[in-house]
Amino acid sequence: MEAEFTLHVNGQARTVRVDPATPLLYVLRDDLGLNGPKFGCGLQQCGSCMVLLDTIAWPSCQLPVANVQNAAITTLEGLTRPDGSLHPVQQAFVDEQAAQCGYCLNGMVMSAVALLTVHPKPDDQTIRNALFRVLCRCGVHSRALAAIKKAADSMKS
């Protein structure tokens, strides 16, 4: 029952042949060779697999590929500018050294990017709410909060 789907990923049209029920996460990692979205639970509980659908951050682990053909999909890779420079949120996570193992970084960064498009200057509570879905076991939350505030500042200026 495989079929062809054309997805818009990081500004490019990509055609894949997969079962329509295949969750987007597997297509991104397995068929398109991307590393940003990670497998964490497959249950929409941890945020490891977060991508942007247009401007909204959404877990990709239960999203059937057939449902996302009309969306502009952005992964962590797609945030980096063509000249190789980092998106301000990526840069802020580096500057604040907001990682230990870093497995959760994808979820944090993607959620933060989505947040900043609607709330250019979020307060602590707004950031915490926006990142609610993202689990971090190493406990870098406080650094992530600082990084997101820093990114917000740098994007305004």
Partner 1 sequence: MAAQYPSQLSHSRRDFIKSVGCLTIAFVLGSGADVLAGESVVADELPESLAKNPRINAWLEVLANGRVRVLTGKTEIGQGIRTAVAQIAAEELNMSMERVEVVLAETGRTPDERYTSGSASIETSGMSIRYAAAAARQQLLGLAARQLRVKASQLRLADGMIRTTDGKRQLSFTQLLKGKQLQGEVKLPVQLKAKSEYQHVGKPVRRDDIERMVRAEPVYVQDLRFPGMVHARVLRPTSYWGKLAKLDTAEMQRQIPGLLKTVVDGSFVGFIAEKECQAKGAQDYGIQHAQWTNGPALPTKQALPELLTTLPAITKRAVNKGDMSSFDATTAGSAPTDASLSARYFKPYLMHASVGPSCAVALFDQEDSLHIWTHSQGVYPLRNTLAALLKMPPERIHVKAVPGSGCYGHNGADDVAADAALLARAYPGRHVRLQWSRDDEHAWEPYGSAMLMQLDARLDSEGSITHWQNNIWSDTHSTRPGGKPESLLAARLLAQPALPTPATEVSSAIYRNGEPLYAIPNQRLDTHYVQGPLRVSALRGLGAFGNVFALESFMDELALQAKQDPWEFRLRHLTDKRAKAVIQRTREMIKNEKLAPGEGFGLGFAQYKNQAAYCAVVAKVHVAEEMGTIRALHLWAAIDAGETINPDGLKNQTEGGMIQASSWTLKEEVLFNEQHITSRQWETYPIFRFDEVPAVTVSIIDRPTEKPLGAGEAAQGPTAAALANAVFQACGKRIRSLPIRPEKLVQIKES
Q: Is 94 in the site for ligand FES (CB under 6 A)?
A: no
The neighbouring-strand residues paired with 5 are: 16
Which DSSP category does 29 fall into?
A: I
| Residue 154 φ/ψ, nearest 5 degrees | -70, -25
Tokens of 40: 């964490």
Only one of the segments 52-60, 85-93, 113-121, 149-157 lies at the binding site for partner 1 (rule: CB under 8 A); that segment is 85-93
Give the contacts of 66 (CB within 8 A, at least 6 positions apart).
3, 5, 20, 21
Look up residue 86 and give its two tokens.
């980092």
Which CB sits closer to ligand FES, 49 or 131?
A: 49
Residue 103 in the binding site for ligand FES (CB under 6 A): yes
The pair of structure tokens assigned to 91 is 């840069």
Q: Which residue type sits at 120? A: P
Q: Should residue 132 be labelled a site residue for partner 1 when binding is judged by CB under 8 A?
A: yes
Q: Is the Cβ of residue 10 or residue 48 nearer to ligand FES in the bound state?
A: 48
Q: Identify which range of 7-15, 26-34, 38-46, 112-120 contacts ligand FES by CB under 6 A.
A: 38-46
CB-based contact 11:80 (threshold 8 Å): no
Q: Name the binder of 110 from ligand FES, partner 1, none, CB < 5-8 A by kind.
A: none
Residues lying near partner 1 in the complex (CB under 8 A) are found at: 2, 18-19, 22-23, 26, 29-31, 33-36, 38-43, 45-46, 48, 75-77, 80, 86, 90, 93-94, 97-106, 109, 127-129, 131-143
